[in-house]
Amino acid sequence: MMTKLPEQLLELIQILENLSSQLNDVLNQEQVVLKSNDSQQLLELSKTKKALVSNLEKQTKTTHIFLRNMSISQGLYGLSDFLPQIKSSDEKTLVNDAWLNIQALSDENKKLNNTNGSIIELNRRHTQRSLDVLRGQISTPNSTYGSDGQTMKTKVSRNISIV
């Protein structure tokens, strides 16, 4: 049994929880901005999200390595199995609550990111269709696909933007 939880482990878990929570906030803001079509604010949120994800990946790796150095062979994947070994119930509760919150935030962040990605893809398709119409191109049910996987358009008339 472990007599005392290393303070570093609790700090690392709390950092992961904090970063996950910040990412959740940014993803929620991103969804609101996507619905309002504010491209400048979306660009700023995108930069913030990228930095948070990068930092979260780095901290996850650090925590994983720290746990492996504590002889938890599965690192973060073995944290749940490690919790019963913590002798102090206060420390065990702190780590367990933070870990459960991290897992819940991770699931929610994944769903939010997928939803936001779907909104972006839908907006992209609408924009592409509008551009195709302006260029006098349409997609037909018998369209073929190019090497990039995009539908190849057939030209039906001249560009309506040219007079």
How many Å apart are CA 87 and CA 84, to the nearest integer?
8
Structural domain containing residue 46: 7-155
pTM of the model: 0.76
Let me know if residue 18 belongs to a domain.
yes
Residue 121 lies in a domain: yes
What is the domain-level CATH number for residue 54? 1.20.58.300
Whether 161 is covered by a domain: the verdict is no
CA distance 3 to 50: 39
Counted domains in the chain: 1
Residue 162 lies in a domain: no
DSSP state of 160: T
* pLDDT tens over the chain, length 163 residues: 344 567 888 899 999 999 999 999 999 999 999 988 888 999 999 999 999 999 999 999 999 999 998 888 888 888 888 888 888 888 888 989 999 999 999 999 999 999 999 988 888 888 888 887 787 776 555 556 666 666 665 555 555 555 4
